[in-house]
Structure formats: structure tokens, C-alpha cells
Copies of this chain bind each other. A is one copy, B any other.
């Protein structure tokens, strides 16, 4: 089995949340892949900008048992989505009528168990499919034993950080999530793709940039990380990408930064054209992932989010239907390729300038047809456009966009022209 899918399937069953043993187990899996992964801890009660690190949540078991039949009608051990994340402990008998107030289901998606959390307000609850709930409703007079064996007490919040140094202190950041319980696209696809991208970076013989991979819990994780690293990141980050929902076979998507034209925005906007004629491009108004923090006022790092089908845009989102069948090897590979092309473009992108005044004589270098006919121009169009627009003011990405040259073609033409010594880097970089 293919690595990308294997990571997802091995991590799927673990019960993750903002904090707790599931997060640590997940980070340990990643550390097994990348022994240089550093696991960072924040203590409950620590301040992070406007926020406070919450208590650590752990859960051993949870179920609803019908007193009449003795059957567990809802069982956390079957699917960790069954419990509202951060549920406080409960151990009680109650009527269906009372219990029903603690149940969550989606009438429009009768087979789906919803993913619900209550991180910052003490409550408990169970999630179940609407079909299950209808079965319970069929016997309104039954009584139930309700049991959540959880703890919510001071502990820690964990984050994984993997830094791979390059020639420059300037950094490319890849940020993704480890806080979602058993869902696959959102979010095991992001960590899986990030693990493999880190392997790719490590095998590069020459790296222009330093790479920083972050395996965070959403919102509070990125906020906490930024609260310790903002100054450094503002100095060094050249581009950052949030990876999320990047393993299905649907769209290729970008969620842009507030300004919409930072370096990451531009790279992703160009790279995506390699994969689809109809990219799904979302403005910051449709944000919802950690670009919310990286691009917040006062932070404003050059990040954007890249995805296959964007969070919230597929019906399986935040339900038990976002499972290992929803993602695929092909879907993950596409997402990986998209992210990888962003990195490759960044490594090669620059402001180049032609080494000649006027067009160069390409024929003498074997780069131009020696017989001039009506069709000559089409044959060498991409190469000629790359030369003609290399004026030191347009970087490769701009030229590719302008001249409608695919990213892979422009990387190839660039290579050819650099070899022939026809372009040089401009001082404007």
C-alpha cells in the first residue's frame, strides 16, 4: 500500500482532540517517520495572546445503554465521533426525553454521525446518526444508563515541529492538523501529505530555503505556536501553506489570504493550473482553517490554504462519512503533487533577466529551427515568451501566468535557457 494512504489508515482509529493521549499517539507516529520531529508542550492555563490553553481531555469509554434491553445503543468504542469532544464525565440513568436533549444528529444526512465539540464550555453529549436516533425515538418510554468516563484536568497541549535547514534562513512553512478524531480528509490527509513532503525535502541535494513543518491542533494550536514564534516567523517566512482536506478526488482548491496576493497565494494560484482548468479559488471571506490565524491582522504572514475539495464544500465534511472510503490513493497523490509543485516552483522561482539585448540568436545554439516557415513561431513560443518577459521585473510565476505556460513547461524551458546561459538572476530578487 501506498504511503500516503497508509498513514491515514494507521492513524484513523486514534481518538484525537485539542489535547490528550490521542494527540500524543499521533505525534509519536509522525516522529517514527521523522525522528527529528520536536514535540512541543504548552501547559493548561498558559496564555497565548487572547486565549488560555484549556485543560487536557482524556476519555476511556462512553456509551448509552438501554436499561430494558441491556444493549449499548451508542458506543464510543465503535466510533469516537459518538462523543461530543471535550465532554465532561457523566454517569446517570435518565428517560429518553431527558437524554434526547444531549443527542446530536443531522436530519438531512440520516446515516452520518456528526462531529461536534465543546472545547471551552463544560457540557456533555452524544452524536449519532439520525437513523439511530429515530430507532430510539420509536421507544420513547425506555430508560437509559448514560456513561462518559472522561477526565478534564490540567495537563498539556502538544504540537509537532519539524525544521529542515536549507541554504537560507528564509523559510517555507507547511502547517496541518492533528486535532480531528476519526475523519480522513479533514484531517488525516494533511498530516499524511506533510509527512511525505518532508521526506521529499530531505532528499533534495540543494535546498534554497529552510522548511518548517507544523503538526498543530487547529486554532488554539496555531495561536499558541504563533504566540511564541511570531517575531521570528515574520522575519523569516517566505511562504506558508496550510494543508487541509487534501486527499479526496474532487476539486483542487485555494483559500487565499486577506490580501490575496502574497507569495504563497501567487505560487498556489499558478501551481493549481497544472492540475485543473477549473480550480476552486476562494477568497479570505470563505476562510475557515488556520489561514484565519496566520493571516490575521497583526500576524499577516504570507500564507494561504491549499486543498482538494475545501472544508465545508463536501457533504461528508465534519461527519463520520468523511472516512477512509472518502479519500483515496489517487486523491492523496493529487493533493501531494499540488503541494509539491508549490515547493518546486518556490525553489526555482526568481526574477531573471536576459543576458542579451534584443532577442538572442537561438539558431546558433541549436535552440531554434533553421528553416523559417509560417509555423516556426508556435514551435518555440514558450521559450521565446520566457526570454521576452525576463526583464528582471517579472518572476517566473508571473511570466507563466501571463503567457499561459504550464508550471511544468516553464520549469523545463527555464532549465534549458539557464544551461544555454541566456538568462541570469536579476538583482531585483
Contacts and interface: CB of A to CB of B under 8 A. Distances in A.
Interface of A: 49-52, 84, 104, 114, 116-121, 123, 219, 222-223, 226-227, 230, 258, 284-285, 287-288, 292-293, 296-300, 312, 317-318, 353-354, 356-361, 363-364, 370-374, 377, 385, 387-392, 402-404
B371 A118 contact: yes
Contacts of A392: 297
A357 B296 contact: yes
Contact of A370 (B121, B223, B364): B121
A357 B285 contact: no
Copies of this chain: 3
Given A118-B370, A119-B372, 11 more contacts: A50-B361, A114-B374, A116-B372, A121-B370, A227-B358, A258-B389, A285-B402, A297-B388, A298-B358, A312-B374, A318-B373
B374 A120 contact: no
A284 B385 CA distance: 9
A223 B50 contact: no
A116 B371 contact: yes
Residue of A118, A387, A392 with most partner-chain B CB within 10 A: A118
Contacts of A358: 49-51, 222-223, 226-227, 293, 296, 298-299
Contacts of A374: 114, 312, 317-318
Contacts of A297: 353-354, 387-392
Contact of A373 (B116, B284, B370): B116
Contacts of A223: 358-359
Nearest to A319: B374
B298 A123 contact: no
A377 B114 contact: no
Nearest to A381: B285
A290 to B, nearest CB: 10
A51 B391 contact: no
A300 B391 contact: yes
